[in-house]
Structures are given as C-alpha cells and as structure tokens.
Amino acid sequence: MPDRTKNNNRVGLLVTCLVDLFRPNVGFAAVKLIEQAGFEVDVPSAQTCCGQPAYNSGDAKSAAAVARHVIRTFENYDYVVAPSGSCIGMIKEHYPRLFESDFDLKTKAEDLAQRTYELTTFLVQVCKLKVNTTFNATVTYHDSCAGLRELGVKNQPRMLLSQVEGLKLNEMEDSEVCCGFGGTFCVKYPDISERMVSEKTNNIKKAKADFILGGDLGCLLNIAGRIKRESGETQVFHVAEVLAGMVTIPAIGEKSE
Amino acid sequence: MNLENRSAARFKQQAASALKDNNLKTALAKAKDGFVLKRLHAVEDLDEFEAIRAEARKIKDHALSHLDFYLEEFERKVKENGGHVHWAQTPEQACALVMDIVGTEAKQVLKGKSMVSEEMGLNAALEAKGHTVVETDLGEYIIQLAHEPPSHIIAPAVHKTRDQISDLFHGEHPKYGLNERLTEVPDLVNEARQVLREKFLNSDVGITGANFLIAETGSTVIVTNEGNGDLSQILPKVHIVTASIEKVVPTLNDTATLLRLLGRSATGQEMSSYTTFSTGPKRANDHDGPEEFHVVLLDNGRSKVLGSEFQDILRCIKCGACLNHCPVYGAIGGHAYGWVYSGPMGSVLTPLIIGLENSYDLPNACSLNGRCAKVCPMSIPLPDLLRQHRFKAFQRGLTDSRTKLGLKAWAYLVTRPKLYSGLTSLAAKALALLGGSRGVLRKAPLASGWTSVRDLPVPQGQTFQQQWKKASE
C-alpha cells in the first residue's frame, strides 16, 4: 500500500451517523485517543453514513451509491477509523461485494477496506496505545455482533480497559448475544427486539456493574433506551469515552443536572 | 397461536402471539442453555473440528455440483440391492407415491421422524385414507398427541414444558390404562415406550426420513437417540424412506465425516445413540428387516436452487445448531415461522420452496448478528443468504412502500452532505429540546417502532460535525 501522506500517519475519522447525531462525545473521545498515539486526525465534512440501512434492507443500488461516496471521501487518508464495528464491517466485508462487476471500484473498495479499522483494534494493533486514565467503577461489556463476528473485536477493548486505573470488569452472561438492535430490525420487529434487549438488560443487571460499555452506538442507544424504560440504574457509555477519560457528561440517555 | 391457519405470510402475528406465551418462554430458555453449552463442549473437545468442517463442506459442494450423477448412482445401487426409488417433483406427487406403496390393506403406519414428510403433509394424507399413523420419535409422539406440527428440526416438541407434556399424557393415555398424572421425565418416557412397543409389533408399514443417502452403497442413514427409527423400519413388512434430493453424498467414508459434525452440532453428542444404515430389503439370510424397501425422493424446488446464489443452503445437514443459537428463534420458537422449517436455515429455505412473496418477513426478521453462521458445521453463510433474499425482495418490489419511501429519502440525503448536515443539525437540536434535561424521550415523531419498547436517548444538542467545525475555526 503506497503511503498517502509523507509521514503515513493521517487518520480519517468516520464519525458514523449515529455518533454525529446522538453522541458527539464519542467522536471527540476517538480523536483524543488517536492523537494521543501520535497520529494526525481529520474529519472529512462530506461524510454522512456507511450505507448499512440500504444494504440490509435489500436496496443494493442505494448502498452502492453511498459506498462510492464514502470511498471518494476517504480516498486520501492513510487510515480510516470509526468508533463502530458494524460500520467498519460494512466497509471491510461488504463494500467490495457491492462492486463485483466494476473492477475499478472493486479495487478501490478493497484498498479502502485494507486501511480501515474499528477504533479499539486500531488503538491496539496500529497505535499500540498505552491508556492513561482512571475510572473508579465496575463495568460490564457488551460485544456487538458485527465487530465480534465480522472483525474479531473481542480482546481489544478488554486489553485497553485493563489498563484503566480503578476499573473492574465483571463479564455478563451471554455478552456475545445480540442486544436486539440490528439496525432497522429493531423498529421493524419491535416486539421481537424487545424480548432480545430485555434479556440483555437482565444479564446486565445480573453482572452487578455500575456501567455497561460497548463499541457500537446503535447497540448502546438500544440498551440505554431499554434500561431507562425499565427504570434501571446501570449507566451506558461508549468504550472510547471511558478510555479517553471523557465521562464527565451524563451517560447515554441519562438526565442532565 | 392458531396452528391450523398458520402460514409464513402471517409471521408477524404468529411471532406476536408466541411472545405472549409464557410456557413457550420457559421451554425455550431451558432448551437453549442445554443445546448451546453441550455443543460448545463437544466442539472444543475435538481438536480437528475445523478441519472436518472444511472437509465436510468440500464433500457436500462436490456432491451438489454432481447431484444428477450421484442421485442416479444411488438409484442404481438401491435397485441392485432389491429396493425401489421413486421420484417426485412436488409434495403432492410424493404423497401420491407413498399412498400407492402403502396401499389400501395397511391399517397402521409407523413414522420415524421425517421433516420431508412434513413438507408433504403426509400424516394428514394417510389419515384421510383411513390409515392410523403413529409417530415413534418421542418428541414427534408428544406433538402428535397435541395435534401440532414440529417446532424444531431435531427437537420437535422443544416448545413444550414438562408440565404440558404431563397434561397431554394425563389427557390422552387413560385409554392405555394410565390413571395417574406422571410428572417425572423417566416415568413419562417409560409410559410412551410401553404404548409404542405395542404399536411397533402391530404395524404394516414403516416410514422414516434420511439424514444421508449414500450413492456408493445405496444406503439411507438415520440418526436417532431412541432407537425408534430402527424398530420403525425393521419390524413392518414395508419400509418407505422419504428424503429430499440434496441428501445424497458420494461414499460411506463421506458419511462418516459428516456424522462427526452432525451429532456434535445438534446435541453436543460425539455420536447419536443410534446411527442406522438401511441397505435394501431383507436378504435371504437376514434374520429380520422389511420385505420391501422404497425410497421416495422429493425435489420440491431444490433443483432450481442448484447453481443459484442460494446453492449453499443445500449443504445443510439439518443439525439445528443455527436454530439453537438464533436469538430470534429463541424468542419466538419454531411455530411462528409458519412453515415446516424455522430459524435461520428455515428463513433461507422456506422462501425458496414456497416463494418469497409468501414468506417476506422470514429473511427480514433477523438482526444479522451472524451467530448462526459461526456455528453452522457446513459453513453456510446464512446472514448473507438472508440478505440475498432482501435484495431479491427489493428488486421484485415486495418491500413495503413505507420502507421503500424511507430508503429513497435517505439515499437522496446521504449523498448530499450539505443538505444532510443541515438536517441532522436541526434534528439534533429539535430532539435535544424535546428531551430537555430528561435525557430520553418516551415518544418521538416517526419513531414509534423504537419508542414502543424503549426510550429514545436524546442527542447532545449539536452534531459532531457542527462542533468539529466550530473547534477548527
């Protein structure tokens, strides 16, 4: 892979549409962590969404149009990083498949896939980040499906969290089972999704943790929304917020003073 | 759930009613834990599991790409062994063939478990002609008592709690002299065994399915844990095997490879208690066995799947691992899917057999979490195949108009960054204002699917892009 910049250290942050709209703090946490490791971060303003809503609803044509847009937007970065397993899974696993009959775009999609990373994987594998923060709390961790099964994100967040001073990880039962988000699935089949997310919140409760962390905002919004509906106490943060020491704002779905 | 009118087209209503069924919830929770852990241990204990998995995939892919050859080989060997092979394109034809073989004289017909006979609606057809049908697999026997179809390909009565089974025996078995309500599993099993033993000895025809058909030897293979399959096919004079065409494998050795995956993936057993090979009718020197041996092969749309983007599903060996690991199946059980097969493999296969227009929800009611593909011993890319159905549905205009309209608007927006960021800024602000300091919304415009079951966490107020732009200035 040719270096795109002189120092080969320029990261394009794919904020993801959910972080952009709901939880900018996660984006800033990602920027802070990547910069801590000595990389230069840029956030191209032309970015919107990775295309999963169309792709998973059967609209391959619209998904391909969005993929072309993403490929163009992130053409000139050495690395592309997002605080999400599912958006990165979309780019790495599925973009190349969208262009089976277009050699040029397929090559570009494969090139993008090669330099694209899920945030915790990037921090561990490429940055070799030493985490430098304190969080005096007991947490549990939800393994989001696409990150876990498409990208093998499992130990990366745990390795990083183990370096956080004061943090204790209580693993919950079935941490690898889907929380019932599934993108448009959760609004198309709300009653099935409800059963899935309430099993998740039940396992969270049993883990006796003050916080539930994860690496995908979709799942976290779903889990936080359900905890609130059940009047639960466990607070929800994205793992990047904890790693960057940016837990000073209210947790996801939490009241502000 | 009304099982009489169930159909794949009524998935949503059926799922809703399944979710309200507390017995179902109890039964499924219990089953899930058992299946998942047992499989995990069995797979962990076999160092070469992944290697066998790769080999198994090759075997089935090879068999499928030469399916015509191996099927004809199988037929030739069956005939050589003194048996008969009958070909059916449709379930109706298969049914008619079986009815012909059964004839009018036979009174009682034994059944070993066969999902293909469910495709054929065979029990109802036999009963309509006055035959008594006795299911001999304990799970099948239980649901026959309950007048229900199977809800799982290997554990047909998995949706029933022990209490419900006690009630069924209590209600149905007084005619066999049962006066008390049995509640312990061994007692219930023994009760069924006593009643079934009598039936084994007095039946005219035995019908079983097949886990594999072996081209090399002309054998059919079934696996059971109760031995009911053996008795069903050895004791009656006539043995009929109902099987779908993709079950054929080239050799006995290949079968051994696949069997090493089947038990482990299905129930976490190294081998099922019984693995029965049937090769033709009773020979001159055999002590027992049927006088007639028939194999009815059903296509039911599978030959059209060959060579299509869905061919991988034909590698399925019906172990049920994808059902056992599917959180949607775990929530709603098998009946809600509305047709013979359920869970991830069913949601891929059913639309191919009965038509996507009659089963639109099946491939859609999935969070694409991918757990099924990870445990599939035949490495079938189930989520990709489900998505493939969604592509087809969209192309064929089956996608509902609300989704289509939403996608159109979304696609327009996300390829126009300036418009997109303007609108998301507005949305972030509006939702934050609506939420105030509460942190969540109980209801939100256009988001009833979300807020019907969970609160909506409100945005921080400004989008990331807005804040980033400000910070960079």
**DSSP-derived 3-state class of residue A30:** helix
pLDDT digits (tens, 9 = 90+) for B197-209: 999 999 999 999 9
Q: What is the pLDDT of residue B177?
A: 94
pLDDT > 70 in chain A, percent: 99
CB–CB of B453 and A190 under 8 A? yes
Q: What phi and psi, each to the nearest 5 degrees, are found at residue B443? A: -140, 145
pLDDT digits (tens, 9 = 90+) for B420-469: 999 999 999 999 999 989 999 999 878 899 999 999 999 999 999 999 99
pLDDT digits (tens, 9 = 90+) for B113-146: 999 999 999 999 999 999 999 999 999 999 999 9
Give me the residue spans of the domains in chain B.
8-160+204-303, 403-472
Q: What is the DSSP string of B178-210?
A: --S---SHHHHHHHHHHHHHHHHHT-SEEEE--
For residue A150, the distance in angstroms to the closest alpha carbon of chain B comes to: 8
Percentage helix, strand, coil for chain B under 3-state DSSP, each rounded to 5: 55, 10, 35
CA–CA separation, A121 vs A123, rounded Å? 5
The answer on pLDDT for A256 being more than 90 is: no
Q: Which CATH number fits domain B8-160+204-303: 3.30.70.141, 3.30.70.20, 3.40.50.10420, 3.40.50.2020?
A: 3.40.50.10420
The mean pLDDT of B279-306, rounded to a whole number, is 96
CA–CA separation, B213 vs B211, rounded Å? 7
* CA-closest candidate to residue A149, choices B263, B368, B9, B397: B368
Nearest Cβ partner for B19 among A23, A53, A191: A191
Which sign does the torsion angle of CA B113, B117, B123, B124 carry?
positive
Write down the H helix ranges in B268-400. Answer: 302-305, 321-324, 327-332, 343-354, 361-364, 371-375, 382-395
Q: What is the pLDDT of residue A3?
A: 65
Rounded to the nearest 10 degrees, what angle do helices A60-73 and A103-114 cross at?
Answer: 60
Query: 431-460 in B: which are within 8 Å (CB) of A?
Result: 437-440, 447, 449-450, 452-460
CB–CB of B370 and A17 under 8 A? no
Mutate one of B347, B369, B452 to test the A interface: name it (highest A CB count within 10 A).
Answer: B369
Q: Mean pLDDT over all residues of chain B?
A: 96
The answer on pLDDT for B184 being more than 80 is: yes
Contacts of B331 in chain A (CB under 8 A): 192, 195-196
Contacts of A250 in chain B (CB under 8 A): 439
For residue A108, the distance in angstroms to the closest alpha carbon of chain B comes to: 18
CA–CA separation, B468 vs A27, rounded Å? 9
Query: 36-75 in B: which are within 8 Å (CB) of A?
Result: none
The answer on pLDDT for B280 being more than 80 is: yes
Q: What is the pLDDT of residue B446?
A: 80
Name the helix (H) or strand (E) containing A28. Answer: helix A24-36
Q: What is the pLDDT of residue B222?
A: 97
Q: How many CB atoms lie within 10 A of CB A46?
A: 16
CA–CA separation, B9 vs B29, rounded Å? 26
Q: Which whole-number Å values give the CA distances from B175 to B106, B170, B296, in the listed order?
A: 23, 10, 35
CB–CB of A177 and B327 under 8 A? yes
CB–CB of B460 and A46 under 8 A? no
Q: What is the pLDDT of residue B355?
A: 98
CB–CB of B367 and A249 under 8 A? no
CB–CB of B467 and A54 under 8 A? no
CB–CB of A17 and B424 under 8 A? yes
CB B149 within 8 A of CB B340: yes
Q: Which whole-number Å values give the CA distances from B57 to A221, B43, B72, B350, B380, in the listed order?
A: 39, 17, 22, 22, 9
The answer on pLDDT for B4 being more than 90 is: no
CATH architecture of A130-243: 3-Layer(aba) Sandwich (3.40)
Contacts of B452 in chain A (CB under 8 A): 190
The length of chain A, given as a count of residues: 257
Q: Kindly report, as residue ranges, where domains of CATH 3.40.50.11810 are found in chain A.
A: 130-243
The mean pLDDT of B237-265, rounded to a whole number, is 98
Query: 308-347 in B: which are within 8 Å (CB) of A?
Result: 327-328, 331-332
The answer on pLDDT for A2 being more than 60 is: no
Query: Tokens 């996300």, residue?
Result: B414
